[in-house]
Structure 1
């Protein structure tokens, strides 16, 4: 396979989550879902996006005259003399980034070839070998860039490096399904069992997701299920029970990870010129333990976090 280029927005080295052992996690841009609680909003769009961090800006004004669409204006409010960006006018052309020496303006997303990316993740090979770890590909959604993801998976396999793919499971193409089929381990997100509710909270139906999961289970793929627990959205007692019952019939599921709601990614919405709209109360430990107990009653191997 040629040295296919892909669009990534982050790499984490030395991760103890996202699979077994010590891992390097690569985050790809582009996702078909629009989950209300998404903690990586910069991974949704499949193109580079302008990131603006006002706290890093010294109001030099160099970005204003170079903007071809006049999307950047200086806020004239006393004490707030910072540039403001009209996202409706901004085309993410990057002209402002070129003149911003403070890096208050930057891109979410950069292109890289499979070979170059593999060279980066291979540097941690000794940690993979000593811990039973490997490379995890997340996002965004890895099946959104199937050829690039497959290229990295195959490059890792040629070098005996374990791979995992963190997926929403929503892919309608054979290339996307091949990504799920060829990785060593699947970290498979399961949001909601009701198709109507699922569409309401993610923007898509869950029918392709459940079908793909059942196909992969029948193929004997190693699967860790990841369930986001979002108060008032995914934690209804009936949904918890329906999810547990469904998973209890899948023999390839090695573990179920319950991921409690947090707001760690909310600052990134502001950097994208968006407003984070989901503000709900976090769980108590007792509430999380109660949900965990329900899954365990169905004979599932469950952990909080993962």
Structure 2
């Protein structure tokens, strides 16, 4: 049984969103600290790792804070690593991924073109956390991204939406709540299970030809629920549950993206399957 603290995490996430949405003017105008070791536009991919890696943050994340652990992890392994900000709302610094997801996918499209032009690579690999693992699928399916992307790796992606442990099912009992959510934070409304955005995204199949897909999930996810809704179906898909690799991995939705080195080892395997090594509990020391 979940502890009362874990059961309250989804509610805390909603409250945080409300604070950001209703009081944007209270936030400072400073930008995140500059990244270190990645977003180096002079980096040229090696023959071992010929594609740049573009990191796509999650809802309420940004291009730095979401990747303080994974970006250096990949840079140390010889990858050219880049990260973007997307889904910004006017007057809301730091907390991104709140704008309409189709518009965020357009930002990703522009950014990938920028990275490919700088590195000279014909294709990139994408690694995203939460919304950042799902949003690129719109880019791949509707914006021509499949011609520019080799692999999409999602850490706890909300590919088929989320009920936030059932909390979204309460919206019909509060008249106007769903409309307010769509008007103020459309990126959140788009992620609700059954939204028009997700219905269009998943119509006709989860994947597009020519792209390899990896989904890395945790059974303790309290944000994208049920966690199996993260999985994709189709060719060139691998769905991974970190507890199948290390039963004592207790990471939940945030941790799997921010510091879970078992999940990171699977990211490295998905980026370079020809050199993949078994992921175990010992992978935290790799």
Per the normalisation by structure 2, the TM-score is 0.37
Per the normalisation by structure 1, the TM-score is 0.35
Structure holding more helix per residue = 2
Structure index of larger Rg: 1
Structure holding more strand per residue = 1
Greater relative CO, 1 or 2 (CA 8 Å, sep 6+): 1
